[in-house]
Amino acid sequence: MTGMGGGFWAGIRRRDLAGGGTRIDCLPDSHLLRRLQAVDFRKRKSAAGGGMIEYTIDAAQRLIRVRMSGANRPADLLQHFSNLTADPKFDATFNTLFRISEGATLQTTLFDDLLKTLLEQWQRRRKGVKWAVLSSSRIQLALAKLATDNVNFQFVQLRFFEDEDSAVKWLSSPTYLSKDNASGA
């Protein structure tokens, strides 16, 4: 069992399972996941309809490109954060382009406390960057806005886009943090 660091990961321990996969245990005093006692991440074979969150890091553009497809849970997002921070190319100051594929879902309830806590803690680790959420589907964008509506984005700028060119242009522009970084455009 290994600790996953301080700050965002305080109170969380990771264990490799004999049958493959990883178990993430949240200590009782964990500020991150008080209502989630343990999450079990099994290695999933790529089955039709299975959820997946993949990323690439483009150091030249100082950009993390994330693609979500299939059916995902907030626990999958936590695993994505864990994988990303373990990547030696990860830089917390890089902006993020988060693409939601057609048909992708995040299995959560409206105003989900776990999702809210994950996003609020993750943004604290990523202070001063921009997150662009991209989908060609207006329905997907509307659902993403609803899922993040109760999250206080005070440390990052968040915007939603229907086309990649606009998103990349915004991500490439200077970053300005204000007291109210509510989801724009």
Any idea what the CATH number is for the domain that residue 134 is in?
Answer: 3.30.750.24
Of 56-65, 87-96, 169-178, give the lowest mean pLDDT range. 169-178
Domain boundary (9, 25, 43) is at 43
Kindly indicate the confidence band of residue 47, based on its pLDDT and cuts at 50, 70 and 90: very low
Do 168 and 143 fall within a single domain?
yes
The residue range of the domain holding 135 is 47-172
For the chain, the DSSP string reads: -EE--SGGGTTEEEEE-TTSSEEEEE-TT-SS-TT--EEEEPPPP--TTB-EEEEEEETTTTEEEEEEESEE-HHHHHHHHHHHHHSTT--TTSEEEEEE-TT-EE---TT-HHHHHHHHHHHHHTTT-EEEEE-S-HHHHHHHHHHHTT----SSEEEEESSHHHHHHHHHSPP---S----B-
Do 25 and 83 fall within a single domain?
no
pLDDT of residue 105: 80
Specify the number of domains making up the chain. Answer: 2
Do 36 and 81 fall within a single domain?
no
Q: Would you say residue 183 lies in a domain?
A: no
Rounded average pLDDT over 28-32: 44
Kindly indicate the confidence band of residue 19, based on its pLDDT and cuts at 50, 70 and 90: low
The overall pTM is greater than 0.95: no
Q: Would you say residue 185 lies in a domain?
A: no
Do 39 and 51 fall within a single domain?
no
Q: Is 146 a residue whose pLDDT tops 70? A: yes
Q: Would you say residue 177 lies in a domain?
A: no
Do 87 and 55 fall within a single domain?
yes
Q: Pick 120 or 14 by higher pLDDT.
A: 120
Q: Is 64 a residue whose pLDDT tops 90? A: yes
